[in-house]
């Protein structure tokens, strides 16, 4: 069985996990399958030979930023102490005042970069309020993780064309574009993002939405060497997501690369 690094997971404190999972399901009109706690993620990881994670934070208000990033860094340290190969991405809100100093603090805390969820945060990827964040990440060699895409007309904050504009403005910025560059906006992702330098893609929130032929085409289009495996926990059980991935028409070497080796290469860039 292949080793796995799951490059797209979210966890919540036990006190708020039930509410957070419920809100997530309501936002996307899906049934969230898991509790969203770190202990539940760890249990499922053992069952699936998942040996590491990219832990992602999302800040929905400026007041959350500092505490959220501190907690994320603490969880990364805990996960590593338990033997997992784990990195973390802090959160940032577009209206947080001290962006540059907080990014510097995140670097000191050992975080790999910052995660932005444009649709939940209701901010365009190319909103100038985010430019100081992009500039600071670029200058420090830290990475940007973005939720990408949505077909609903009221959620066009994360259009692939917006990211293309940012990449032109910040050519040294390294980005992970989630959901093959655009959840249910894959044609636009293909046009604006696939094949661009400094862009990686995760394979989350896709396999249950398209057939295996189309999903395999996404992998080929993005480039096997640039695709990171990700489940989007707690939306789906790790075992169920892995079963969907294993149906793709890939070679064993390609599966190993996506499940583990690409993530290790990316992690090496974060040191």
Task: Kindly report the CATH number assigned to the domain that includes residue 47.
Answer: 3.20.20.140
Q: Are 4 and 51 in contact (CB under 8 A)?
A: yes
The C-alpha atoms of residue 91 and residue 252 are separated, in whole angstroms, by: 35
Cβ contacts of 190 within 8 Å, gap of 6 or more:
181, 221
What's the confidence (pLDDT) of residue 259?
98
**Residue numbers of the domain that contains 183:** 4-269
Other beta carbons within 10 angstroms of residue 82's beta carbon come to 11
What's the confidence (pLDDT) of residue 248?
98
The C-alpha atoms of residue 215 and residue 213 are separated, in whole angstroms, by: 5
What's the confidence (pLDDT) of residue 1?
76
Q: How many domains does the chain have?
A: 1
> Beta partners for 114?
90, 144
The C-alpha atoms of residue 174 and residue 141 are separated, in whole angstroms, by: 8
Q: How far is Cα of residue 237 from the mean position of the Cα atoms in its chain? A: 17
Q: Supply 28's token pair.
A: 């996307």
- C-alpha dist (Å) from residue 149 to 77, 153, 183, 206, 263: 31, 11, 4, 11, 22
The DSSP bridge pattern shows strands 227-228 and 113-116 to be unpaired
Backbone angles phi, psi at 222, to 5 degrees: -75, -25
Please list the rounded mean pLDDT of every run of 10 residues in the chain (271 residues).
95 93 92 96 98 97 98 98 98 98 98 98 98 98 98 96 98 98 97 96 97 97 98 98 98 98 97 73
Q: What's the pTM value of the predicted model, to 2 decimals?
A: 0.97
What's the confidence (pLDDT) of residue 271?
73
Smallest CA-to-CA distance from 21 within 236, 244, 262, 239 is with 236
């Amino acid at each position: 069985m292949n080793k796995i690094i799951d490059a797209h997971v979210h966890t919540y404190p036990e006190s708020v996990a039930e509410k957070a999972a419920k809100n997530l399901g309501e936002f996307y009109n899906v049934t969230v399958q898991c509790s969203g706690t770190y202990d539940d993620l760890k249990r499922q990881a053992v069952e699936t030979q998942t040996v590491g994670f990219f832990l992602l934070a999302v800040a929905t208000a400026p007041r959350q930023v500092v505490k959220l990033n501190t907690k994320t860094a603490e969880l990364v340290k805990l996960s590593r102490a338990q033997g997992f190969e784990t990195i973390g991405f802090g959160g940032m809100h577009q209206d947080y005042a001290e962006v540059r100093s907080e990014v510097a603090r995140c670097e000191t805390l050992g975080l790999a970069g910052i995660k932005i969820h444009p649709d939940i945060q209701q901010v365009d990827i190319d909103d100038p309020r985010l430019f100081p964040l992009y500039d600071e990440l670029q200058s420090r060699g830290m990475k940007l993780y973005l939720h990408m895409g949505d077909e609903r007309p009221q959620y066009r904050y994360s259009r692939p064309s917006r990211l293309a504009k940012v990449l032109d403005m910040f050519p040294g910025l390294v980005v992970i574009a989630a959901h093959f560059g655009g959840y249910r906006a894959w044609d636009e992702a293909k046009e604006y993002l696939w094949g661009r330098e400094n862009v990686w893609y995760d394979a989350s929130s896709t396999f249950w939405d398209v057939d295996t032929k189309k999903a395999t085409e996404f992998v080929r289009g993005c480039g096997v060497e640039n695709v990171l495996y990700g489940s989007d926990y707690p939306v789906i059980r790790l075992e169920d997501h892995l079963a969907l991935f294993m149906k793709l028409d890939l070679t064993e070497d390609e599966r190993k690369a996506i499940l583990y080796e690409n993530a290790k290469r990316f992690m090496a860039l974060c040191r």
